[in-house]
Amino acid sequence: MRLLSGSARLAGVIGWPVAHSRSPRLHGTWLNRYGIDGAYLPLPVAPEHFADTVRALRHAGFAGANVTIPHKEAAFAVCDRLEPSALRAGAVNTLIFGDSITGANTDGYGFVANLRAHGVDPAAGPALILGAGGAARAIAAALQDEGAAVTICNRSPERAAALAAHLPPAKILAWDQRAAALSDHALLVNTTSLGMTGHPPLDMPLESAPASLAVADIVYAPLTTPLLAAAAAQKLKAVEGLGMLLHQAVPGFSAWFGVTPEVDEELYRIVAS
C-alpha cells in the first residue's frame, strides 16, 4: 500500500454525481506506476457549492482538479485565466491551481491523440460530428486546428447552428441527412449519449459508407457501442471512446504531478475493468 507524506500532491475530479467516474482509477494507476507521493480523489460537489469548493481546494493546497458533468461551464466562469483550448471549447475540464486558477479543455486533445493511437489521421478529410454539446464543441475545435473541415449534425438544428456559428467555417447538416452524407466525409464522430449504457442506441446506418471512413464514438460504457459494432461489421476503422478518456488525462496529470504519463495497454486493461 502506498503511503502519503505530509507534502503529498493532491488532485481530484469534481462532479455531481461522481461515483461513476473512472478517473480515480486512471490517475491512481499512474501514481502507483511512477511512485509519486500524491493522491487523486473523487469529489462529489453539488452545483450550488461548485465555485466555493474550487476556491477552497486551491487554498487547501490542491494542485488542481478535473471537472465533469454538470460543472464544465461553471468551471469556465470560475477561472482567473483560460487557456486557448478552453476559450475555443467554451468549457473547462481541467483546473490548474497556483497563484490563480487556470482552466484548460483537454477533451479535444484527448480525442485527437486517440485517433492517432488507432492509426487515424485527424486531417485525412472532412469530419461529420453527431451532437452539439460541450464534447462536440471541443472535438470540432480540435479537428479544425488539425486542418479538417467540420460538419455539425444534431437532432436540434438550433443547437447545431449555434455551434457552427461559434466555430466558423463549420457547416451544418440536417439530422435526417446524416447517412446520405457519409460518402463526403473521412471521419464520423458520435458525441451524443446515444448508445451509452441505459440510453437508446444511435440509429446510424453505415451500409453506404465508403471503405475509407473511420468511425469514432466517445462513449466508453459499453466499450463496444452499437455504432462501433456496426462499423466493425462493415470492416470500417473503429475508434472506441475509452482511449479519449485516457489521453485527455495526460496534460492534467503532468501539470499536477510533474510527470508526463504513458497511455498503454496495461492502463486500458485496468481502467476498463
Active site residues: 72
Neighbour tally for 118: CB within 10 Å: 13
Beta carbons within 8 Å of 9's beta carbon, 6+ residues apart: 36, 37, 38, 39, 63, 256, 257, 258
* Radius of gyration for the alpha carbons in the chain, expressed in angstroms and rounded: 19
Q: Would you put residue 3 in left (φ > 0), alpha (ψ -120 to 50) or beta?
A: beta
Enumerate helices (H) and strands (E) in the chain, giving the number of each: 10, 12
149: number of Cβ within 10 Å = 17
Counted residue by residue, the chain has a size of: 273
